A = this chain, B = another copy of it.
């Protein structure tokens, strides 16, 4: 009988995270203090983030040991399965082999606990009692809620208001794990009040929510810090456990991917699956294609510009070198809440600038159609974010059929959609649109940015 799932034992779980900075031909440009225009320092970042996380943020060490306590908690659901998508292959009648890494098996239903747990761990070890963060689709907020309860940290989550309304169960999930969830923009911060004064009906976006959470961290004293679920180097680092496992599992399967695909919001699951494969391109001369998939309604890689930009809407973060749509960009209300961020992290941006990775954008309806094909053939209901990766895997598999040329495709199933079923209902009811973005809208936001800088 054919093997469906390639499983590693707990003993085979990788014990190191991979820091791709060590192998990049051009290192990412430094983040800049907006006041001095000088590179940010360990000291300034440490006022916002836990110290060990800042060390990792600035590190160029190739591999970083995963602490034992973190490994123990990873084992609640890790190693995750690598799955051969026989059902999807059959449905597509393709000569391609399709594999997916199933990150939907964590208690929070996504890959986000891979970094939530070490972030809570390092902060707790430093004596931090309170953390503030933001969440878009809710996957990150719930992962952080899960992680904080293990370490007795009080968590406040600013959740983008439109996502709060679209995904009421996400809020309940965070509450169940003890977190305090506040729809953003809110009246609990100075910046939130400013936004609401200008636009009382503002649907919110990740940039605004980040501003609110950072404001809380900066103003609530020495036992409070901020944490972030994507974009930053240390976050991408923690997620590489995904690809490190997948490397071993593809070997077990006796196969070699021609293309590795991840959906792209700030870069966390994309880097997680992609960077360990990219290492082989950079150091062993392999030529695996690594593809980031973003929504056409938030096309920072495919249609944004490489600029220094703020990570948040208020301009409270350092300025980072990123492919960006401008930090004032207001994305459409697509259901893939985790992909509605205006910029790409500095590592991914540099890799993309150097043409070491690819990017594609997919309209919302194609992603849901792809997600339903996957649900109907493999059984798992995918998260709207993951549907983007599935859509490009299907594009690749169809191309393989047209060209009569077999290939091996690996994508990351970053999460399941059990709590996003409302989105699928909207899709079935023909209530979703594609949100293809006019060039003028992108230009306006970038132009604004250039005036600031």
Contact = CB atoms under 8 A, between A and B. Distances in A.
A175 interface: yes
A4 B11 CA distance: 10
Interface stretch (A69-77, A210-218, A433-441): A69-77
Contact of A375 (B1, B71, B176, B425): B176
A376 B149 contact: yes
Given A4-B75, A375-B176, A418 B169 contact: yes
Contact of A175 (B7, B175, B418, B428): B428
Contacts of A1: 10, 68, 71-72
Copies in the assembly, this chain: 2
A202 interface: no
Interface string A65-85: 000100110011100000100
Interface residues of A, number: 45
Given A418-B419, A421-B169, A424-B176, A4 B72 contact: yes
A378 interface: yes
Contacts of A4: 10, 72, 75-76
A7 B107 CA distance: 17
A449 interface: no
A405 interface: no
A150 B376 CA distance: 7
B10 A9 contact: no
User: Max chain B CB contacts within 10 Å: which of A1, A149, A379, A380?
Assistant: A379
Given A7-B7, A149-B376, A424 B172 contact: yes
Interface of A: 1-5, 7, 9-11, 68, 71-72, 75-77, 83, 87, 105, 107-109, 146, 149-150, 169, 172-173, 175-178, 372, 375-376, 378-381, 418-419, 421-422, 424-425, 428
